[in-house]
Amino acid sequence: MQKNANAMRPWRLALLGLGLAGLLVGCGSESGGQAQAADSDQAAPATPSQVMSIARRDIALDKSYPSMLSSENEVTVVARVSGLLEARQFEPGDRVEKGDSLYTIEPATYQAAVRSAEADLQSAKAERDRAQRDADRYQRLLNQNSVSRQDYDDALAKLRVARATVAQNEAALDSARIDLNYTDVEAPVSGAISLSEINVGNLVDPGTELATITPLDPLEVRFQLPQADALALRRQRDDKEAPIGATLSRPAKQGNAAQSLEGELDFLGSRVSESTSTVEARAMFDNPEGSFLPGQFVRISLAGLKRYDVLAVPEIAVTEGLMGPQVFVLDDDNKARARTVELGETAGHWLIVTSGLEAGERVLASDPGGIQPGTKIEPQPFDGDAASGS
């Protein structure tokens, strides 16, 4: 047995030596790999990128609101007198001006009524003049004690009745002349006129609808603002006296080019709708060509609408991470660190950040393509133009 044990000892020593050699080789390989990695990290150049320091500020929004055009000043033209509709002085769809003649309703009957009222007035005036002469004569006779006081009072009463009759006939003549004027139906407002509801030759009565006129210039547009936007807009109006500019736009459709009008906000409601939580607003636009018509869907943009004292980053700087939207924040070693953020509204090429960032932090403001967490950054000044970050 002793002999066999001595014979196996060299093999054990040989195996032990091989194991130690492998361990040393493995350790040498690992330390060499770490050294190479360190050398590679030191050799990697920093990536130049625009960097901005986050600070609170007021920022202009780029927002628009939908609206369907409707004419709040649309007017229905109605007949004011009875008679035969003798003539129509327009073509459906024409642009008419306030005061233009539209229809003629049997004026001869009302001309005769005016002449009759004029004759009645002349007769009443003649009776008044006679009563005036009688009253003057009885006044003289009373002074001479030639007539009784009762005779004078009777003459004076007749004069008063005659004067009242004149006034009554003057009113009748005015009424007859008004009715005569109503036989020439005029446009009460300027705008585009509709098809005629009644054909020439038909009999019309007071209240008969004849046509509709839709004012197109200026164009009044009503729309709804969310509460937050209405409050910001009211604050803006209080800060400056200049009008708030507005743009009315319609997208291109079916070969027609996009169109827009420039105007201004002229009304902002003072109460919030309980059903929609919005505030009503109104803007006025010059529409001389009549290119925008009621019933069209449009969008209203307001100039200078702002959010106050907020944090914002360029839109290009935001990427989508595993936990949602993220930006890259630089640490003290100028290495990029991913930071998940919560976003608010869009303001042109800026995004408002509601949480995730603090004032004073440095944020990558240019295109983060190719940037990974831990990437060394060579900070470049940010030019402030969120649209040109690259």
Question: Structural domain boundaries of the chain?
Answer: 47-61+308-388, 64-71+215-304, 83-103+186-214, 107-182
360 contacts 55 by C-beta, under 8 angstroms: yes
pLDDT at 125 over 80: yes
The C-alpha atoms of residue 103 and residue 203 are separated, in whole angstroms, by: 13
- Which residue has 């925008």 as its token pair? 292
Mean pLDDT in residue range 382-390: 72
377 contacts 366 by C-beta, under 8 angstroms: no
Does the structural domain 47-61+308-388 have CATH classification 2.40.420.20?
Answer: yes
Comparing CA positions, the residue from 320, 310, 230, 216 lying closest to residue 276 is: 230
The C-alpha atoms of residue 346 and residue 95 are separated, in whole angstroms, by: 42
Query: Considering the chain, what is the average pLDDT of its residues?
Result: 84
pLDDT at 318 over 80: yes
The C-alpha atoms of residue 283 and residue 276 are separated, in whole angstroms, by: 20
DSSP secondary-structure letter at 387? G
pLDDT at 326 over 50: yes
- Which residue has 């007198």 as its token pair? 81
pLDDT confidence tier of residue 388, bands split at 50, 70 and 90: low
Give strand pairing partners of 87.
Answer: 104
pLDDT at 250 over 90: no
The DSSP code sequence of 218-275 is: SEEEEEEEEHHHHHHHHHHHHH--SPPEEEEEE--BTTBPPEEEEEEEEEE-SS--TT
83-103+186-214 shares its CATH topology with 107-182: no
pLDDT at 42 over 70: no
- Secondary structure class of 6 (helix, strand, coil): helix
pLDDT in tens, 335-367: 999 999 999 888 878 899 999 999 999 999 988
pLDDT confidence tier of residue 44, bands split at 50, 70 and 90: low
- Secondary structure class of 327 (helix, strand, coil): strand
Comparing CA positions, the residue from 323, 332, 316 lying closest to residue 365 is: 316
Which range scores top for mean pLDDT: 44-48, 62-66, 105-109, 273-277?
A: 105-109
pLDDT at 10 over 50: no
The C-alpha atoms of residue 141 and residue 328 are separated, in whole angstroms, by: 115
173 contacts 124 by C-beta, under 8 angstroms: no
Among 23-27, 107-111, 312-316, the minimum mean pLDDT is found in 23-27
pLDDT at 41 over 90: no
Beta strand pairing status for 319-321 and 324-330? antiparallel
45 preceded by cis ω (within 30°)?
A: no
Q: Which CATH superfamily is domain 107-182 in?
A: Helix hairpin bin (1.10.287.470)
pLDDT in tens, 180-216: 999 999 999 988 999 999 999 999 999 999 999 988 8
For the domain made up of 83-103+186-214, the CATH class stated in words is mainly beta
Given 3.60.110.10, 2.40.30.170, 2.40.50.140, 1.10.30.50, which CATH number is that of 64-71+215-304?
2.40.30.170
pLDDT at 11: 38
